[in-house]
Amino acid sequence: MTTAIAIDNLTKTYANGLQALKGISLEVQQGDFFALLGPNGAGKSTTIGILSTLVNKSGGGVEIFGKNVDAHVYETKLDLGVVPQEINFSQFEKVRDIVMTQAGYYGMPRQLAAERCEKYLRKLGLWEKRYERSRTLSGGMKRRLMIARALVHEPRLLILDEPTAGVDIELRRSMWEFLTELNEAGTTIILTTHYLEEAEQLCRNIAIIDHGRIVENTSMRALLAALDKQTYIVELAAPIRALPDWGDAPLSAEFIDEHSFEITVDARLTMSDLFKLFLLHSVEVSALRSKSNRLEQLFLSRLDGARGGDEHVVQP
């Protein structure tokens, strides 16, 4: 399989002395849907900045589809589409002009540019807005416009830096569908997001970056399999005054109120076993929900492990 991105011992120290990347190495295979996660300030955006040439690296090497980005600047840029975290198009230009201009930067003849522009504006639900100034678009539309702009030259590799930040859930899900289709059609996608549910839903492989170092780099499946405990909130059909004695069962529970409690169960315990226990102790359950996303728990535990458990992660 071809390697879409090969990052080797990448370092970045900013002029103010901040060491944003401390020698990260990473490989993303062609066709992958890859999540790059980390808390704020971990080094995700710096990594993406270096890949997209917006940030100068201090050391190490980057290859895109086997070509060194320093030696083959123009070829590697042709393969790359970038959707940045912040809105970065002119607010005074019309939607269609923004996409057409980007096509022009890639040397696309006008006819082809117009076809691609229509194709992606339609796919992203912006065709009706094509003659409107971009500042009049909603936040979600602006994000979709940045995706359309990044795709107009049909890159083999698409980098999305928090593409659904501030987007409502309905729109987010439609964007997930679009990105899944795009990935299935062969585009390699790298995604950074703070919505871990999004990464879990979309991505096959994952790297977690913290303080400029990769603390985890594995497949989503392998990572989720490593989850040894899960916490649920149990809603009760009939109120209880105290929690039952669970005996030797591999779980711990905490009383919230007479209508609900929190239960943390070992991964060895199946759902069937859990409900048998509820039945045994005459606990009538009306609803059961995960206290947090599975990936979120792993994310926090990996960061905690990497930091020796002495720091609290404020925001995933």
Partner 1 sequence: MLSNHKYIAFETIVIKEVRRFTRIWLQTLVPPAITISLYFVIFGNLVGRRIGDMGGFNYMEFIIPGLIMMAVIQNSYSNVVSSFFSHKFQRSVEELLVSPVPNVIILSGFVVGGMVRGLLVGGIVTVMSLFFIDLEIQHPLVTLSVVLLTALVFSLAGFINALFANSFDDISIIPTFVLTPLIYLGGVFYSSSLLPEFWRSVSALNPIFYMVNTFRYGFLGVSDVPVVGAFVILLGFAVVLFSACLLLLNRGTGLRS
Query: Which residues contact partner 1 (rule: CB under 8 A)?
Result: 14-15, 49, 52-56, 73-75, 77-78, 80, 82, 84, 86-92, 97, 101-102, 104-109, 149
Residue 215: strand, helix, or coil: strand
Phi, psi of 304, rounded to the nearest 5 degrees: -65, -40
- Of 66 and 104, the one with the shorter C-beta distance to partner 1 is 104
- Of 120 and 261, the one with the shorter C-beta distance to partner 1 is 120
Q: How far apart are the C-alpha atoms of 261 and 274, rounded to whole Å?
A: 14
The sign one gets for the Cα dihedral 50, 143, 79, 183 is: positive
Beta strands in 38-163 (DSSP E): 59-64, 67-68, 80-83, 157-161
CB of 7 to partner 1, least distance (A): 17
- Of 84 and 140, the one with the shorter C-beta distance to partner 1 is 84
- Of 92 and 131, the one with the shorter C-beta distance to partner 1 is 92
CB of 297 to partner 1, least distance (A): 34
CB of 138 to partner 1, least distance (A): 18
- Of 22 and 229, the one with the shorter C-beta distance to partner 1 is 22
CB of 68 to partner 1, least distance (A): 15
- Cβ atoms < 10 Å from Cβ of 113: 20
CB of 185 to partner 1, least distance (A): 22
Q: Which of 174, 165, 85 is nearest to 126 (CA)?
A: 174
Per the rule left: phi > 0, alpha: psi between -120 and 50, beta: everything else, 136 is: alpha
